[in-house]
């Protein structure tokens, strides 16, 4: 383990054996799919999912995997939004970032340094970034790092992250800059979009703190600068966003992530995710061999969501009903079991979940009228109505 910033970013570099194992799982001829801060924020949102942790740790392209499985991801940024975001970012950073530095309150933006961060490969760029941060902090002058590269160890594997910019203040403070293309109208923006940007920025702050810990007189701002178009124009405006809460949540969630070597060692022999050499059936069976923790939130955060939802539904699992319902059902883990308990055919009446289900089934029958079709206790189906009723009465 090295503490030198120039020797490569991850001080807890994974063992060569682990890297080889991850390459075997991914397919030796496939380059690892890089993890970005958006993916890390999503990974931290579902720390119990071993499937995602392993696939991300092995650098498998989950979007390509989902396509190969016949369940392509149903989310992502449109090409138009992507191009608009790039154009806005270029405008904000034009002329050496003078407008951006002006938004931070720099009196003489033209005097700021903009070091060249070019280097070979992500490791090289991360080392070059660390050196630039150290030099800028030592020099005590405003410095803009355009697209620096940061590294963070996640579930035993290094992830390389690229914030839009980091600004070094003369007093040694480092501020993360996030440039987004959603509008800020009358000084405020869509809270859900600001929240997502804050979670993403918190991942950058976390990675920067590792570098700052090894840099004399450096500290990382826990407020990030969010830059957005002003009202409905193309003019940039900025707001400081406090990410302390997101930082502590992300730190805690990432620390809890199951380590990938443990997950990999539990896989059956011969399992692999090589998209070039495996058939769709082999990939489905390989994916199925890694335990998942599906929740409806996956639909907006993970490329494999449609595949995992379909598998969870066909297995009769209660997870697709949502975490709240899942929690209230206690030891009842399958929809047929829930329906059977509601009909009074199984289950311990002293179990609060079973009692609530039966009460809900009774109320449902009364509401529908004893003689009306379907007034009997629920029959096998999605189970959502029974579970929803149970939630309301538990
Ligand atoms: S969609 Fe599947 S792999 Fe992705 S986080 Fe959810 S359960 Fe895990």
245 or 249, which is more confident: 245
- What pLDDT was estimated at residue 12? 47
As a whole number, the mean pLDDT across the chain is: 86
- What pLDDT was estimated at residue 258? 58
- What pLDDT was estimated at residue 372? 52
Which residues line the pocket of ligand 1, CB cutoff 6 A? 46, 49, 51-52, 292-294, 298, 302, 304-305, 308
**Closest residue by CA, ligand 1 atom 3:** 52
- Whole-angstrom distance, CA of residue 51 vs CA of residue 298: 12
- For 101-127, what is each residue's pLDDT tens digit? 999 999 999 999 999 999 998 899 999
Q: Which of 260, 304, 317, 320 to mutate to test the pocket of ligand 1 (most atoms within 8 A of CB)?
A: 304
Quote the ligand 1 centre to 269 CA distance (angstroms): 22
Whether 56 shows a pLDDT value over 90: the answer reads no
- What pLDDT was estimated at residue 75? 67
Work out which ligand 1 atom sits closest to the CA atom of 55: 3
Quote the ligand 1 centre to 307 CA distance (angstroms): 9
- For 325-369, what is each residue's pLDDT tens digit? 999 999 999 999 999 999 999 999 999 999 999 999 999 999 988
Element holding 209 (H helix, E strand) = helix 191-212
pLDDT-derived band at 376 (thresholds 50, 70, 90) equals low
pLDDT-derived band at 375 (thresholds 50, 70, 90) equals low
The SS3 call for residue 25 is: helix
User: What angle (nearest 5°) sits at the alpha carbon of residue 231, between those of residues 230 and 234?
Assistant: 50
209 or 371, which is more confident: 209
DSSP label at residue 266: T
- What pLDDT was estimated at residue 186? 87
- For 256-308, what is each residue's pLDDT tens digit? 665 788 889 999 998 999 999 999 999 999 999 999 999 998 988 899 999 99
* Concatenated DSSP letters of 314-367: HTTBSGGG-HHHHHHTTT--BHHHHHHHHTTSSS-TTSHHHHHHHHHHHHHHHH
**145: which strand partners?**
166
- What pLDDT was estimated at residue 167? 97
Work out which ligand 1 atom sits closest to the CA atom of 308: 2
pLDDT-derived band at 61 (thresholds 50, 70, 90) equals very high
- What pLDDT was estimated at residue 249? 83
Rounded average pLDDT over 5-12: 43
| Percentage of residues in the chain having pLDDT higher than 70 | 87
Rounded average pLDDT over 19-33: 87
380 or 70, which is more confident: 70
The SS3 call for residue 39 is: helix
Most confident of 55-59, 80-84, 175-179: 175-179
The SS3 call for residue 267 is: coil
- Residues 104/170, Cβ–Cβ less than 8 Å: no
- What pLDDT was estimated at residue 370? 59
Give burial (CB, 10 Å; 0-12/13-18/19+) of 301.
Answer: middle
């Amino acid at each position: 383990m090295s503490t030198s910033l120039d020797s490569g970013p991850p001080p807890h570099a994974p063992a060569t054996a682990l890297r080889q194992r991850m390459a075997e799982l991914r397919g030796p001829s496939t380059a690892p799919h890089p993890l970005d801060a958006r993916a890390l924020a999503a990974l931290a949102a579902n720390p119990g999912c071993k499937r995602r942790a392993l696939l991300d740790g092995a650098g498998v392209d989950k979007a390509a995997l989902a396509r190969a499985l016949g369940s392509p991801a149903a989310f992502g940024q449109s090409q138009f939004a992507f191009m608009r975001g790039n154009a806005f970012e270029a405008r904000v950073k034009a002329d050496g970032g003078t407008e951006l530095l002006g938004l931070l309150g720099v009196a003489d933006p033209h005097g700021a340094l903009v070091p060249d961060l070019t280097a070979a490969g992500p490791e090289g760029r991360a080392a070059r970034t660390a050196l630039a941060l150290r030099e800028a902090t030592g020099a005590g002058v405003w410095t803009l790092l355009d697209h620096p590269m940061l590294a963070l160890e996640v579930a035993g594997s290094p992830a390389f992250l690229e914030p839009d910019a980091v600004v070094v203040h003369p007093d040694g403070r480092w501020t993360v800059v996030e440039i987004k293309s959603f509008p800020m109208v009358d000084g405020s923006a869509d809270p859900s979009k600001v929240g997502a940007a804050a979670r993403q920025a918190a991942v950058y702050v976390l990675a920067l703190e590792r570098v700052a810990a090894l840099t004399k007189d450096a500290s990382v701002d826990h407020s990030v600068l969010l830059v957005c178009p002003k009202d409905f124009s193309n003019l940039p405006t900025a707001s400081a966003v406090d990410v302390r809460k997101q930082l502590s949540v992300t730190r805690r969630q990432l620390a809890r992530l199951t380590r990938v070597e443990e997950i990999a060692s539990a896989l059956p022999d011969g399992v692999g995710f090589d998209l070039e050499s495996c058939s769709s059936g082999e990939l489905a069976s390989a994916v199925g061999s890694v335990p998942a923790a599906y929740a409806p939130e996956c639909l907006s955060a993970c490329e494999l969501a449609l595949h995992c939802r379909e598998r969870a539904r066909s297995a009769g699992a209660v997870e697709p009903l949502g975490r709240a319902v899942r929690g209230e059902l206690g030891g009842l883990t399958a929809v047929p079991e829930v329906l059977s308990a509601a009909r009074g055919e199984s289950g311990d009446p002293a179990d609060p979940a079973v009692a609530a289900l039966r009460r809900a089934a009774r109320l449902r029958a009364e509401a529908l009228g004893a003689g009306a079709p379907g007034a009997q206790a629920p029959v096998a189906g999605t189970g959502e109505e029974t579970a929803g009723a149970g939630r309301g009465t538990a």
